[in-house]
């Protein structure tokens, strides 16, 4: 057994745009975790606000990479998934979870497929059905409210109260979710936070909400959460650290009005490291 942590993260590479793997790799590495990557696709930029971007699908490379790792005896302390582009990629990720993880290693899934009440472009309900199989086999899930609604068949509401969120967490648990960190939960104007279901216990952490939002904040949060969690923090403490770090990144980004395409996470990394 290794004497150190090695996490595997599976998501796309957007060469410019500060999201997905270009966020996950530096944040996890700064947290002191050896980070292996498996790119699901390569894009010249992310798809939010850029036009004419290039896209290279790497789906069929995934089993080849997996098989090579198996031959080399390479295993991982955790598997963290972000944006997956197809049902086939979900299937391959499920095989990775069963074949290259250390015994007891956590599967952490960010079901990055929807927001603001609707699916991202290119996704449909059959994709959601496949994502359910991955989500409800995971140890920790990191959905936003829209994704949680899609995963449970709950009607989406832009305005809600504590009972709505509790019912949503209940529905996720009933469907098989073991531990949930529900992001983007805000009960009063100007604030947002994370609602956490850990076994039979619920927690809520609130912080200021800054408008407008930034591209890539979900990836920043998920990566910081995984880094903190693998450093031995509890699920609630990891969520708090990740939320605070993401907010600091947004504040830093707003110092540069022309930086519209991503979140300025790099200058704030020392503060994240200090938290750990």
* Domain 6-275 superfamily per CATH: Ribokinase (3.40.1190.20)
Q: Which residue has the tokens 């990775």?
A: 96
Q: Which residue has the tokens 């200058």?
A: 267
The DSSP secondary-structure symbol of 264 reads -
| DSSP string for residues in 58-94 | -GGGHHHHHHHHHHHT--BSEEEE----SHHHHHHHH
What pLDDT shows up at residue 22? 94
Write out the two tokens for 162: 């504590």
What pLDDT shows up at residue 2? 65
What pLDDT shows up at residue 21? 95
What pLDDT shows up at residue 244? 96
Closest Cα partner for 30 from 266, 257, 213?
Answer: 266
Tens-level pLDDT at each residue, the chain (276 residues): 567 899 999 999 999 988 899 999 999 999 999 999 999 999 898 887 788 888 899 999 999 999 999 999 999 999 999 999 899 999 999 999 999 999 999 999 999 999 999 998 888 999 999 999 999 999 999 999 999 999 999 999 999 999 999 999 999 999 999 999 999 999 998 899 999 999 889 999 998 887 766 777 899 999 999 999 999 999 999 999 999 999 999 999 888 888 878 899 999 999 999 999
- Per-domain residue ranges for the chain? 6-275
Backbone torsions φ then ψ of 30, nearest 5 degrees: -65, -30
Cα 134 to Cα 63, 78, 123, 239, distances in angstroms: 17, 15, 16, 21
What pLDDT shows up at residue 99? 96
| DSSP string for residues in 168-225 | HHHHHHHHT-SEEEEES--SSTTEEEEEEEETTEEEEEEEE--SS--TTHHHHHHHHH
């Amino acid at each position: 057994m290794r004497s150190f942590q090695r996490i595997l993260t599976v998501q796309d590479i957007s060469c410019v745009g500060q999201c997905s793997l270009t966020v996950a790799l530096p944040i996890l590495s700064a947290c002191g975790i050896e980070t292996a990557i498996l790119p699901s696709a390569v894009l010249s930029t992310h798809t939010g606000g850029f036009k004419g971007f290039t896209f290279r699908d790497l789906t069929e490379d995934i089993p080849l990479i997996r098989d090579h790792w198996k031959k080399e005896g390479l295993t991982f302390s955790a598997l963290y998934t972000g944006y997956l582009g197809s049902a086939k990629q979900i299937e391959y990720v499920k095989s990775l979870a069963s074949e290259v993880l250390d015994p007891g290693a956590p599967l952490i899934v960010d079901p990055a497929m929807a927001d603001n009440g609707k699916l991202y472009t290119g996704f449909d309900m059959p994709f959601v059905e496949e994502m359910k199989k991955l989500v409800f086999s995971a140890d920790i899930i990191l959905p936003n409210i829209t994704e949680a609604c899609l995963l449970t068949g709950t009607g989406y509401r832009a305005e809600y109260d504590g009972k709505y969120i509790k019912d949503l967490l209940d529905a996720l648990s009933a469907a098989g979710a073991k531990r949930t960190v529900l992001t983007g939960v805000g009960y009063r104007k100007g604030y947002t936070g994370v609602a956490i279901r850990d076994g039979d216990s619920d927690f809520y952490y609130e912080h200021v909400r800054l408008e407008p939002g930034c591209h890539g904040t979900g990836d920043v949060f998920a990566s910081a959460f995984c880094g903190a969690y693998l450093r031995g923090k509890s699920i609630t403490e990891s969520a708090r650290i990740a939320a605070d770090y993401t907010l600091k990144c947004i504040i830093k980004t707003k110092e540069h009005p022309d930086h519209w395409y991503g979140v300025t996470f790099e200058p704030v990394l020392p503060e994240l490291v200090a938290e750990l």
